[in-house]
């Protein structure tokens, strides 16, 4: 099997998730290639030892330039704070490496434009944005249901990503709560690609938006006995108007870091005149749908899907799919493209989708601050 050699820049939480997915690649039964991690980079040297301990000897460096100069590296996974995207992503491409980068592909629209220009200058390289939740089987069923035409004229779409940990005011400050590093989008920048990936993939591009932006925790502990300003938005509820041949419809996008009781919930709901569909990671093995004919009953059906991933695996179909599986499925899609495949018909989020999501978030930020409806200006 072909081997694709990866470098990881940013060795924190998500870097370890990729390393875990790569280490258990034998879990998958239908892949064109497999990843091997040959280099890691982080400004904190203490984070890199874990990789060598579990995956064997590899390049370890605190300077990303050294990793990019390594001729053994074919592709890079980059998981660094948003403010660094506009510096590192173009540098990765200039070094001739394929890229899977973390969202949001730039701290703001201006930084995203810099990244998009670099992508355009290197059309031979494959670039994708990390977004794993649509790889749940239930999410794929909702997508297929919509594509089949079963929805009919759309009444409303709702997509949400809900966290609850920030409800604790004693949770220490980190960079995602600092506008200078995370960006002024706040929760929208960190979670917006998650909620917009499926709508944009289905062609639902908001024309105008209004937004309710909420700040509830103005300061947080700094970990040194003091406090620092927590100056990003905690919650955002975006209401968009989406043009459609069957008539414009509303789309509600929720990116909440203070959602009481929600550990980490992603969901998509599509309501239509002929059919409706819903999936939530709260019930990872099920999806719900309704088919309606005029004068007929209105009854939701719930189907247990079990383990039915996009890329087949050794796990029996009676078992349950989870977050680590979604991560591996996302990586399988990216690596399938690197090996010349079509990602089984569902590639990872594209740079164009990341750019479109910036346009929506930029308009939502303005709408939330002014209380007005704002037209989305796509690049």
Could you read off the pLDDT of 261-309 as tens digits, one per residue? 999 999 999 999 999 999 999 999 999 999 999 999 999 999 999 999 9
Q: Residue 32 — left, alpha, or beta (φ > 0 → left; ψ -120 to 50 → alpha)? A: alpha
Cα-trace Rg, the chain: 21
* Angstrom distances, CA of residue 197 to CA of 5, 242, 289, 302, 356: 27, 15, 20, 24, 10
The angle, 0 to 180 degrees and rounded to 10, between the axes of the packed helices 323-338 and 13-23 is: 70
Instruction: State pLDDT tens for residues 125-164.
Output: 999 999 999 999 999 999 999 999 999 999 999 999 999 9
**Residue 364's pLDDT band (cuts 50, 70, 90):** very high
d(CA 42, CA 88): 13
Beta pairing partners, 40: 8, 60
Query: Phi and psi at residue 349, in whole multiples of 5°?
Result: -55, 135
pLDDT at 151: 98
- Look at the alpha carbons of 132, 269, 209, 258 in this order and tell me if their dihedral is positive or negative: negative
d(CA 356, CA 366): 16
Contact residues for 332 (Cβ-Cβ < 8 A; gap 6+): 28, 31, 310, 311
Query: Phi and psi at residue 246, in whole multiples of 5°?
Result: -90, 0
**pLDDT exceeds 90 at position 233:** yes
Contact residues for 3 (Cβ-Cβ < 8 A; gap 6+): 33, 34, 35, 36
Q: What is the mean pLDDT of residues 311-319?
A: 96
For residue 3, the tally of other CB atoms under 10 A from its CB is 11
Share of the chain above pLDDT 90, in %: 99
Q: What is the dihedral of CA 250, 140, 106, 16, to 10 degrees?
A: 140
Q: What is the mean pLDDT of residues 193-204?
A: 98
pLDDT at 30: 87
Please confirm whether the linkage preceding 316 is cis (ω < 30° from 0). Answer: no
**Residue 5's pLDDT band (cuts 50, 70, 90):** very high
**pLDDT exceeds 90 at position 344:** yes
Average pLDDT, the chain: 97
Query: Phi and psi at residue 51, in whole multiples of 5°?
Result: -70, -50
* Angstrom distances, CA of residue 119 to CA of 351, 354, 355: 8, 12, 12
pLDDT at 94: 98
Q: Residue 152 — left, alpha, or beta (φ > 0 → left; ψ -120 to 50 → alpha)? A: left
- Global confidence as pTM: 0.96
| 2, HSE (Cβ side, Cα atoms, 13 Å) | 14
Instruction: State pLDDT tens for residues 175-184.
Output: 999 999 999 9
pLDDT at 156: 98
Tokens of 188: 């929208």
Q: What is the mean pLDDT of residues 369-377?
A: 98
d(CA 114, CA 87): 9
pLDDT at 28: 98
Q: If DSSP states are collapsed to H, E and C, what string results for the chain?
A: CEEEEEEEECCCHHHHHHHHHHHCHHHECCCCEEEEEEEEECCCHHHCHHHHHHHCCCEEECCHHHHHCCCCCCEEEECCCHHHHHHHHHHHHHCCCEEEECCCCCCCHHHHHHHHHHHHCCCCCCEEECCCHHHCHHHHHHHHHHHCCCCCCEEEEEEEEEECHHHCCCCCCCHHHCHHHHCCCCHHHHHHHHHHHHHHHCCCCCCEEEEEEECCCCEEECCCCCEEECCCCCEEEEEEEECCCCCCEEEEEEEECCCCCCCEEEEEEEEECCEEEEEECCCCCEEEEEECCCCCCCCCEEEECCCCCCCCECCCCCCCCCHHHHHHHHHHHHHHHHCCCCHHHCCCECHHHHHHHHHHHHHHHHHHHHCCCEECCCC
């Amino acid at each position: 099997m072909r081997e694709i050699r990866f470098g990881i820049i940013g060795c924190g939480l998500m870097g370890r998730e990729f390393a875990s997915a790569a280490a258990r690649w034998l879990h998958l039964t239908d892949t064109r290639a497999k990843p091997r991690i040959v280099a890691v980079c982080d400004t904190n040297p203490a984070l890199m030892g874990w990789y060598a301990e579990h995956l064997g000897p590899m390049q370890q460096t605190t300077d990303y330039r050294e990793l990019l100069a390594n001729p053994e590296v074919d592709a890079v996974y980059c998981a660094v704070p948003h403010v660094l995207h506009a510096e590192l992503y173009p540098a990765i491409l200039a070094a001739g490496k394929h890229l899977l980068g973390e969202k949001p592909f730039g701290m703001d629209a201006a930084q995203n434009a810099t990244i998009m220009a670099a992508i355009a200058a290197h059309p031979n390289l494959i670039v994708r944005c990390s977004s794993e939740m649509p790889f749940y089987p239930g999410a794929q069923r909702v997508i297929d249901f919509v594509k089949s035409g079963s929805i009919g004229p759309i009444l409303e779409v709702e997509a949400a990503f809900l966290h609850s940990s920030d409800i604790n005011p004693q949770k220490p400050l980190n960079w995602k709560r600092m506008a200078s590093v995370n960006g002024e989008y706040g929760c929208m920048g960190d979670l917006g690609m998650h909620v917009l990936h499926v709508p944009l993939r289905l062609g639902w591009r908001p024309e105008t938006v209004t937004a309710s932006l909420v700040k509830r925790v103005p300061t947080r502990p700094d970990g040194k006995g003091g406090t620092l300003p927590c100056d990003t938005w905690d919650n955002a509820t975006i209401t968009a108007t989406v043009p459609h041949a069957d008539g414009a419809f509303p789309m509600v996008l929720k990116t909440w870091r203070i959602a009481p009781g929600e550990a980490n919930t992603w969901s998509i709901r599509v309501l239509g005149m002929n059919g409706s569909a819903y999936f939530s990671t709260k019930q990872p093995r099920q999806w719900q749908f309704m088919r309606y004919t005029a004068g007929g009953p209105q009854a939701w059906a719930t189907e247990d899907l079990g383990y039915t991933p996009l890329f087949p695996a050794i796990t029996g179909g009676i078992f349950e799919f989870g977050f680590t599986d979604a991560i591996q499925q996302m990586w399988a899609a990216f690596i399938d493209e690197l090996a010349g495949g079509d990602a089984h018909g569902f590639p990872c989020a594209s740079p164009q989708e990341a750019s479109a999501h910036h346009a929506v978030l930029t308009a939502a930020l303005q709408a939330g601050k002014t209380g007005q409806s704002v037209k989305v200006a796509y690049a």
